């Protein structure tokens, strides 16, 4: 059976960022867009929380924002269909999850295969899920970090695009480790988005190859 291969499009893209909180990763992506390091524009900042600090920042930066209250939706797919509608309406090429605290339904993931990225504050596949900085400390690992990956229906398990490692220090608290990891998130997330619209991400099964960079 021949393997399904995806290569990201080389184009001036349109990005939707989905957030639930402070939105620092969203801001770093936007900073990189504004500085011309990413050949794209942010067409939508969406949140499931009206009070997300990042949403107010997006408005201040003159970006289009949307909030949909999930409460009236008994069916998670119905909610995700609304978000899909917002995305399609704006001709979005890539969805960036940046501290979006809802799990996307398999329906959404299938509809946007290879078009949704997430940032996770651990070196996947270690420590999927929540509160992972504390889990890394409790486990006693010496190294943790962050992962940018494509989103698949299995939470935190999609193909890995970029990772960065940081040391876990003996005196670390959840907050100090989270800060050290966040600095790396802010570096690799915009980088992954840049590579996407440079047409340089090739996905074969689980593996992502960065085209145009020397192996090793
Ligand atoms: C980050 O640590 C990210 O890895 C995780 O949620 C946090 C979001 O932070 N998925 P921010 O809203 O981007 O500042």
48 CB under 6 A from ligand 1? no
Measured by CA distance, the residue closest to atom 2 of ligand 1 is 121
- Does residue 12 have an active-site annotation? no
Q: Helices 24-34 & 53-60, crossing angle to 10 degrees? A: 20
Closest CA to 96 of 38, 136, 51: 38
What is the distance between the alpha carbons of residues 212 and 200, in angstroms, rounded to a whole number? Answer: 7
Mutate to test the pocket of ligand 1, among 46, 97, 99, 136 (most ligand atoms within 8 A of CB): 99
CA-to-CA dists, residue 170 to 135, 142, 144, 184, angstroms: 14, 9, 13, 20
| Residue environment code for 146-177, b if the CB has 16+ CB neighbours within 10 A, otherwise e | bbbbbbbeeebebbbbbbbebebeeebeeeeb
pLDDT at 216: 47
pLDDT digits (tens), the chain, 216 positions: 567 999 999 999 999 999 999 999 999 999 999 999 999 999 999 999 999 999 999 999 999 999 999 999 999 999 999 999 999 999 999 999 999 999 999 999 999 999 999 999 999 999 999 999 999 999 999 999 999 999 999 999 999 999 999 999 999 999 999 999 999 999 999 999 999 999 999 999 999 999 997 654
pLDDT digit string, tens, across residues 152-168 = 999 999 999 999 999 99
pLDDT digit string, tens, across residues 33-59 = 999 999 999 999 999 999 999 999 999
Quote the tokens at residue 54.
Answer: 């990042």
SS3 of 85, please? helix
Closest CA to 95 of 103, 83, 105: 83
What is the distance between the alpha carbons of residues 187 and 15, in angstroms, rounded to a whole number? Answer: 18
Cβ atoms of 70 and 79 within 8 Å: the answer is yes
């Amino acid at each position: 059976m021949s393997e399904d291969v995806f290569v990201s499009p080389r184009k001036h893209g349109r990005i939707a960022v989905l957030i639930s909180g402070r939105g620092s990763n969203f801001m770093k992506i936007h900073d990189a867009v504004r500085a011309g390091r990413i050949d794209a524009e942010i067409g939508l900042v969406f949140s499931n929380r009206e009070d997300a600090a990042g949403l107010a920042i997006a408005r201040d930066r003159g970006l289009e924002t949307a909030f949909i209250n999930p409460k009236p939706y008994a069916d998670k797919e119905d909610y995700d269909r609304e978000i899909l509608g917002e995305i399609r309406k704006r001709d979005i090429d890539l969805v960036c999850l940046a501290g979006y605290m809802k799990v996307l339904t398999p329906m959404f993931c299938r509809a946007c295969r290879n078009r949704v990225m997430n940032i996770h504050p651990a070196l996947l596949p270690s420590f999927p899920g929540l509160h992972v900085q504390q889990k890394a400390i409790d486990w006693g690992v010496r190294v943790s970090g962050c992962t940018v990956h494509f989103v698949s229906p299995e939470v935190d398990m999609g193909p890995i695009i970029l990772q960065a490692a940081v040391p876990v220090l003996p005196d670390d608290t959840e907050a100090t480790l989270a800060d050290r990891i966040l600095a790396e998130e802010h570096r690799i997330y915009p980088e992954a988005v840049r590579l996407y619209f440079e047409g340089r991400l090739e996905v074969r099964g689980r593996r992502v190859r960065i085209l145009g960079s020397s192996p090793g």
